[in-house]
């Protein structure tokens, strides 16, 4: 189950996850985490091939949907641990972004009120293979090359643009 929200992010109900992603989509709460290493490189993940939604595509460090009730920050920190086997350091809120994207491959819809978080990661990821096929650390130039020749999630450009100011403050001069 996930939280349905209005345009202001106020909870208005709940829905089963898959039904909220079926066209035309229902606006719901989500989160996206962006973690950098000590060199200012972003930890990216390629989603596991067995996932029903956007399998095998690259995306930000971690994303998901908080269960109804707990705050998005707690859900984001929990999912980083579950998916990547690491604890985020200095993680902080970095705003919200609202978007509506259709995945052309699955026809599923991302209509989300997304809470953004940035932080640091000091340990090597130990990804859960049911969630993540592989990980990589990329600086801005490497990310640019990757987006030119690898598939990325439909939401990634939107959340990356929205979180860039917070990344610049975190990475101080890393080029984000």
Please give the average per-residue pLDDT across 95-116, as a whole number.
Answer: 94
DSSP state of 161: H
Give the pair of three-digit tokens for residue 77: 């920190």
Query: pLDDT tens across 100-109, in order?
Result: 999 888 889 9
Give the pLDDT confidence score for residue 175 in this predicted structure: 86
Q: Would you say residue 132 lies in a domain?
A: no
Q: Would you say residue 54 lies in a domain?
A: no
Give the pLDDT confidence score for residue 52 in this predicted structure: 83
Q: Would you say residue 72 lies in a domain?
A: yes
Q: Would you say residue 50 lies in a domain?
A: no
Q: Counting every residue, how long is the chain? A: 176
The β-bridge relationship of strands 42-47 and 2-5 is: unpaired
Catalytic residue among 3, 83, 110, 112: 112
Closest CA to 115 of 66, 79, 59: 66
Residue 82 annotated as catalytic: no
Q: Would you say residue 78 lies in a domain?
A: yes
Distance CA 20, CA 27 (A): 8
pLDDT for 174 beyond 80: no
Query: pLDDT tens across 56-87, in order?
Result: 999 999 999 999 988 999 999 999 999 999 99
Q: Would you say residue 140 lies in a domain?
A: no
The total of structural domains in the chain comes to: 1
> Which CATH number characterizes residue 92's domain?
3.90.79.10
Query: pLDDT tens across 132-170, in order?
Result: 999 999 999 999 999 999 999 999 999 999 999 999 988
Give the pLDDT confidence score for residue 105 in this predicted structure: 83
Residue 7 annotated as catalytic: no
Distance CA 117, CA 109 (A): 22
Catalytic residue among 63, 83, 134, 142: 63
Q: Would you say residue 96 lies in a domain?
A: yes
Give the pLDDT confidence score for residue 173 in this predicted structure: 65
Q: Would you say residue 159 lies in a domain?
A: yes
What's this model's pTM, rounded to 2 decimal places?
0.95
Could you give the count of Cα atoms lying within 13 Å of 123 in the half-sphere of its Cβ? Answer: 11
- Name the residue range of residue 70's domain: 2-38+62-126+154-171
């Amino acid at each position: 189950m996930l939280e349905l929200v209005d345009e202001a992010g106020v909870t208005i109900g709940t829905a089963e996850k898959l039904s909220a992603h079926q066209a035309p989509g229902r606006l719901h709460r989500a989160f996206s985490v962006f973690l950098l290493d000590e060199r200012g490189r972003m930890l990216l993940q390629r989603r596991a091939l067995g996932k029903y939604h956007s399998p095998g595509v690259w995306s930000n460090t971690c994303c998901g949907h908080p269960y109804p009730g707990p705050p998005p920050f707690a859900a984001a920190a929990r999912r980083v641990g579950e998916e990547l086997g690491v604890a985020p350091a200095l993680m902080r809120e970095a705003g919200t972004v609202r978007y509506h994207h259709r995945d052309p491959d699955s026809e599923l819809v991302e209509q989300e009120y997304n809470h953004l978080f940035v932080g640091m990661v000091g340990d090597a990821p130990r990804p859960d293979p049911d969630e993540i096929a592989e990980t990589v650390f990329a600086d801005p130039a490497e990310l640019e090359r990757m987006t030119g020749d690898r598939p990325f999630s439909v939401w990634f450009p939107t959340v990356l643009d929205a979180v860039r100011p917070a990344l610049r403050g975190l990475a101080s001069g890393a080029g984000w």
